[in-house]
Structure formats: C-alpha cells, structure tokens
Amino acid sequence: MEASRYAEIRQQMHHVFQSAFQWNHISQTDIVLAAQKLQVWKQNQLTFQEEEDRHVFFEYCFYEKLSPKGSQIDLFASNLSKEDPLCFLAHQMRQSIHGLYQIVKCNKEKNEVIIKDLLTKEGSILTLIDINLSHSNAIGLIFYGRLLPFQEVYISTGITFSYSQENLNRLLSQKEKIELKKRRKLSSRERYEWAYLSYLQYTRNDK
C-alpha cells in the first residue's frame, strides 16, 4: 500500500471516529462502568493519569459492546446509507480484530510489517501496513493492538500496548488463570481490559 493511500485511510478513520461520537448513543451508566473496568474512574469522575489513557478509554468505548444494543461503531455504521462516503470505512471498522502479536519481519519498500498472532494455537501470520514500524528495526517486538481489515492486509488503529519478551509468559499465564476462574474464554471486552491492565502492570508502571 502506498504511503499516500495509507495516510488517506488514517484520516478517514479519524473522521468516522469523530462523527460516531458526535452521534453518541452511549449511556452515562455504560461510560462509568467502562471507566471502572479500565481503572480511570476516580472520585466520581474520569481521571486520566496520562494522555494515553484517554485515547485507550475512547477506543474501548468506540469498538467494544458496552450495552446489548451494540458497540458505538456498530450502531453508527448500521445507520449510514450506502451512499454515505463514510459507509465503507465504517463497516470495515466494525470488522476490527484485536490480539497479541509479535513482529517477525519488516518490509520498508512495501510499508509492510509481518506479524504473528500469539493468542492462536496455529500462530496466524498477518500483514500489517504501518509506515513507521516498517522502517524500524522492530523485529521481535510484542504488542497488543486492534487491526482493521483491508482486503488481505490490516491497518492498526494506532493504539498499542507493548510488552517485553521476559513478561510474555507471565502475561499469557495471567490470561489463562482468569479464564480458568471464569470457566470460559475471555470476551472481546475482557481481552482488551486484560491487555491494557497488564500493560500498565508490566510495562508502563515498571519503567
């Protein structure tokens, strides 16, 4: 994917994000519960220790299903007409996936990063379009992130949580213990909460 097309998509993603929140259908009760789950609700108000926490919170509220009605992006996209210029991208954003990945190869000529899914037994290999990462020496980097599908490649929302190789086993062990306690696999929301709170514990607060 060319850099100009990549920049255009990222700009359009931001437009969809802003438009969906202006159309907001999230209740105050759901917002408070979400903030409590991500530990950013203190003294009866949203409290962000760092600007990063604000971005994480709003992405969580945008993509995750906070109520039986659906996620913010689901509700927004389903109310767009096919003629709306935001329709195609909004529906691509509805199909986002998120998981724990490790970079195995960088191709700066194609702006591609080859990543391995660490949460699947088969270790699925995906192609991520990311100009900065593709031009870096990031092979081996472990991160959790949300990806949007575009034909056979993916684009990140831009919010990722990184972890050291040393903490990988602890991270996966923690997830397994939570699932054993719940006697089921984690839901999409719960996986995002686990990833973010683990990032705070093992990466940010450990610096």
What single-letter amino acid sits at 9? I
**Span 84-88, average pLDDT:** 92
Query: Can you give the pTM of this predicted structure?
Result: 0.92
Cα separation, 10 vs 196, whole angstroms: 23
Q: Yes or no: say if 29 and 36 are a contact pair by the CB < 8 Å rule.
A: no
Alpha-carbon Rg for the chain, nearest whole angstrom, is 17
Average pLDDT over every residue of 29-39: 94
- Judge whether residue 67 has pLDDT over 90: no
Give the model's pLDDT for residue 126: 97
Query: Residue 82 carries which DSSP code?
Result: T
Q: Are 142 and 162 in contact (CB under 8 A)?
A: yes
What's the confidence (pLDDT) of residue 121? Answer: 81
Q: Which residue has the higher pLDDT, 20 or 157?
A: 157
Classify domain 96-207 at the CATH topology level.
OB fold (Dihydrolipoamide Acetyltransferase, E2P) (2.40.50)
- Domain spans, the chain: 3-94, 96-207
68 pLDDT higher than 60: yes
